[in-house]
Chain A
Amino acid sequence: MNPFIEIITQPDNIAIVIMILMVSFFMVWAFQQAFQNDKLKSAGYAVDGELDKDVDTFKPLVRIELLISLAVMLFLTVWSIVVDAPLEEIANPTLTPNPAKAPWYFLGLQELLVYFDPWLAGVVLPSLIVVGLIAIPYIDINPKGNGYYTFSERKYSILIFSFGFFVLWLLLIVIGVFDRGPGWLWYWPWQEWDIQRVVYEPTRDLSNLVGIESRSLPGFIIGAVVVGAYMIGGMIWPYKYWQKKNPEMLQQLGMTRYVTIVFLFITMMSVPIKMILRLVFLVKYVWITPWFNV
């Protein structure tokens, strides 16, 4: 069979296909409503829902809940009749499958393991994602766009969230499911997996690019300077920029919020930066210390 068909019809991967379809559908629906509301608002009309009246819960809401419940149960029943849940061989600690994949919703994190050491990819970054998500309402002080779809009133927050949600989360999951094979090597979905395949791809560390041994003191210093400059420069530069462009906004934000936002943002952006360093420049570590590597 065509490897592509084979991979998307694997029972557990059908869920991913359903996820891709559902997420794409709702993404289009959300942005379409957002643009529509923006158009209404700029023409001076009320946005969708603004002129709504109260209606009885019984029956309009109860009816729609019943109908959706029935539809969902029908959908799950059909899915369960058509596709059987997989059961592999009995657990065998002496036989490691290659690749050993995490459940699909954690594949984004497993993909990060290519670019970061486990303490970052598996512990620090996931914790920061959770903390960052919880922090969103407290750091987004824009009062507009509460209770309706809009894009123009909340451009930056929507762009940043969408980047995290669709690219860093869902795209990495899709890559992990469909494009990773034995040895966590890249396979296009139509390529046959090959256990024997070895890719000779020597990696280096950042200071090797300028000819300095990364495990030496000068290499350590270069790494520390680069990481420090990224973190500290990333803190200071936007501050200077906004101070010139929009000082009232900085005032409103306050120092705590500013530092939290910028810290979370530069941490998030370190993921694509590290990916580019690794994929384009074959750089494995930026900074090697005796205790940990970044």
Chain B
Amino acid sequence: MNDLFNKVKKNLIWKSVFRRDYRDNVRDRALAIFGNVFLHLHPVKVRESAVKLRYTWGMGGITFLAFIILTITGVVLMFYYHPTVDQAYSDMKDLEFQVPYGVITRNLHRWGAHFMVIVVMIHMFRVFMTGSYKAPRQFNWGIGVILLVLTFLLSFTGYLLPWDQLGFWAITVGTNMGAATPLLGYQGPFSEYLHITPYNDVRFALLGGAIVGGNALLRSYIWHCIAIPLIATILMVVHFWRVRKDGGISRPQNN
């Protein structure tokens, strides 16, 4: 057995990947973190309270995990989906009846999305309750609030994609709010002074038309699959970076 172990570990390929043996000493424990592109998000050492579940509840990390799960299942779903009025709904039926593991992929995406909204809200509650938005972390709280809004928008833009009654009417109700925007929505106060009509207002810009149709579906799709994930990813990079730069997980100050 040991022989086999050695054979696997003592060859060029293994060494090219892992570069060195791991011995349980200070140096290697540190190397395990900053020698790994994924783990080096972490500092080499953290406060005990960052490890105790009762302080952070792990909610920020779980939100990130949910985002990763949604990205992976989302990419899989994209292989089977056309964002057109003619095909979107039948693609959903195909997922249900034809595509191998189509049902569970969609379920994971749907429930993962609900889950992410729930966890990100609890994450915000935790950060508030521990006063972690206070100096020097004020800016990162603001980034977090925008990420919360983006989470809602991600979920909301995904709602229309199945092109079923639920999504269609939820988006209709939601974007009708845009029509009520003061100045810029055709039903909003003061909009008549800017000559705003149903064909040039905020709602028109959101939907790419005056009604929820093919253009709205395409816009939802692109916001949902490309634009918002890109923006959210950039903000997440900033968010995580600032957690490190602002001194790591918050803790009582006079220590």
Contact = CB atoms under 8 A, between A and B. Distances in A.
Given A30-B129, A48-B49, A102-B173, A76 B115 contact: yes
A161 B128 contact: yes
B252 interface: yes
Contact of B118 (A19, A133, A144): A19
A153 to B, nearest CB: 8
B166 to A, nearest CB: 5
B111 A85 contact: yes
Given A52-B47, A53-B48, A85 B250 contact: no
A122 B180 contact: yes
Contacts, number: 273
Interface stretch (A21-29, A209-217, A220-228, A231-239): A21-29
Contacts of A12: 114
Nearest to B66: A72
B121 interface: yes
B252 A50 contact: yes
Interface residues of B, number: 100
B121 A149 contact: no
B138 A92 contact: no
Contacts of B106: 85
Nearest to A90: B89
B25 to A, nearest CB: 10
Contacts of B33: 57-58, 62
B177 A58 contact: no
Contacts of A58: 29-30, 32-33, 39, 44
A80 B111 contact: yes
Nearest to A138: B138
For chain A, the bracket of interface size reads 35 or more
B141 A83 contact: no
Contacts of B96: 87
Interface string B57-84: 1100110011001000000000000000
Given A123-B181, A146-B132, A154-B131, A49 B252 contact: yes
Nearest to A144: B131
Contact of A64 (B53, B92, B93, B189): B53
A33 B56 CA distance: 12
User: Which 5 A-B pairs give the minimum distances between C-beta atoms?
Assistant: A122-B177, A137-B138, A118-B180, A80-B107, A91-B168
Interface of B: 26, 29-30, 32-33, 39, 42-55, 57-58, 61-62, 65-66, 69, 89, 92-93, 96, 103-104, 106-112, 114-115, 117-118, 121-122, 125-126, 128-135, 137-138, 141-142, 145-146, 148-149, 152, 155-156, 159, 162-170, 172-174, 176-182, 185, 187-190, 211-212, 250-255
